[in-house]
Structure 1
Amino acid sequence: MEKYKIAVLGLMGSGRSSITLRYLKKEFYGETDPTIEEEYETTVTIDDQDIGLTILDNAGGEELSYTLKEYFQNGHGIILVFSLTNMTSFLNCERYIRLFEIVTNRDAKDHPILLLGNKKDLEEKRCVPVEKTKDFQKRIKAHYWEVSALTGENVDQAINEFVKAIRNQYTEKDKQGYQKNNAKKSKFKRIFSRKKK
């Protein structure tokens, strides 16, 4: 069974933990402790294939935990959560991108990222313009969905599609690695056979 590690990041009040629990437990948990970092394991079935997920619900504080650094360096994807009703939570997503690039010394655009605009059910209180989310999404090459942890709208679909994208990206990397190794082996065989002659 394929296994992937995903970090869920978001400012306190963005609905980060509520989205994580909505996906895992199919219920809305309004009262959660945003200062506690939790790690969950689950199995999902996508395209008739079981996939193991380890999900880190990051505490959202200023300091980077050892676990989050490990997820940045060895994880397979990042979910950035912001509230559509809170511009600060949206702008904070940029900070996570910078932290990822500093810790890993890699371009975030090359890493699977899912951007989730939460609280879609509060459209009348929206203060994050659609244009800003689209610009940010394009710049970091992220998948983007607007969701509601309260109603569950789009939560499962967004995360399942993201897991599928992660699987496809890493399957392609494995294929490329396999092809490179085979090319090296065949080149070595040709050189070795010439030397024997």
Structure 2
Amino acid sequence: MLLIGNSQVGKSCLLKMFCDNEFSFDVISTVGVDFRNMERDFDGETVKVQIWDTAGQEKFRTITSNYYRNAQGVAVIYDVTNEESFNQVNVWFEEIKKNAPEYISTVLLGNKVDLEDERVVTKEQGENLAKQNNCPYFEVSAKSGVNVDTAFNKLMDSSYEKLKKFGKPKTTNTVNFKKGKDKKKSCC
């Protein structure tokens, strides 16, 4: 699974809340990618899940685009107190369409709902954008934990169902080297 969105929307804090059930103000910005491993039971089968926390800065997008290919699920995250992060959501969905398998599971998460007095993006705007991108929408708070487990579990369940139905994504990042014809050397 991938967590994507602009820088400072709370991807790392959401991951920490989901995996460790704790919030920290001391989280530093992700450089490149970071990940956490966990095990989850699906239909009596224990499955290892990797959740990749990607850097939101533009300069890292070419690095993180490689991680879409093998992903089964993506959470697109924006900050409800930052309109620019909301305005960039469709750019992130375009990245998914360009780089991920077509049957990938997605969710849209509006983070930082604990900061209600600073909110600039309404719940209705988030719901409409999720509907446009054909995915579930959750308003979450990495600080209080509101809806974090529900959202992540929904993404994992959907990803697992699609994995059972379609199998693992086929990677296309192999390079074939062909030996060229030897050219005769001449001085003229």
TM-score by length of 2: 0.79
Determine whether 1:45 maps to 2:41.
Answer: yes
CA RMSD of aligned residues (A): 1.9
Query: 2:94 is matched with which residue?
Result: 98
Percent identity between the aligned chains? 25
Pick from 127, 140, 144: which aligns with 2:120? 127
What letter is aligned with 2:124?
A: E
Unaligned 5+ residue runs, structure 1?
1-5, 175-197
CA gap 1:57/1:145 in 2 versus in 1, 3 angstroms: same
Determine whether 1:84 maps to 2:77.
Answer: no
What letter is aligned with 2:113?
A: K
Work out the number of aligned pairs and report it. Answer: 165
Shift >3 Å, 4+ stretches: 45-49
Deviations 1:34-90 (A, max 9, x none): 142212211123555422111111011103243x22321121111111111111111
What letter is aligned with 2:51?
A: I
Determine whether 1:163 maps to 2:156.
Answer: yes
Is the contact made by 1:46 and 1:160 (CA closer than 8 Å) also made in structure 2? Answer: no
Query: 1:138 is matched with which residue?
Result: 131
Pick from 88, 93, 111: which aligns with 1:118? 111
In the aligned structure 1, how far is the partner of 2:15 from the partner of 2:57? 17
Tell me the SS of whatever aligns to 1:121.
coil
Query: 2:142 is matched with which residue?
Result: 149
CA gap 1:48/1:122 in 2 versus in 1, 3 angstroms: farther
Tell me the SS of whatever aligns to 1:113.
strand
Pick from 2, 12, 16: which aligns with 1:7? 2
TM-score by length of 1: 0.76
Q: If each structure's helix is expressed as a fraction of its own residues, which one has the higher value?
A: 1
Is the contact made by 2:110 and 2:139 (CA closer than 8 Å) also made in structure 1? Answer: yes
Unaligned 5+ residue runs, structure 2?
168-188
In the aligned structure 2, how far is the partner of 1:150 from the partner of 1:52? 26
Is the contact made by 2:71 and 2:104 (CA closer than 8 Å) also made in structure 1? Answer: no
Q: Report the CA distance between 1:91 and its aligned residue.
A: 1.4
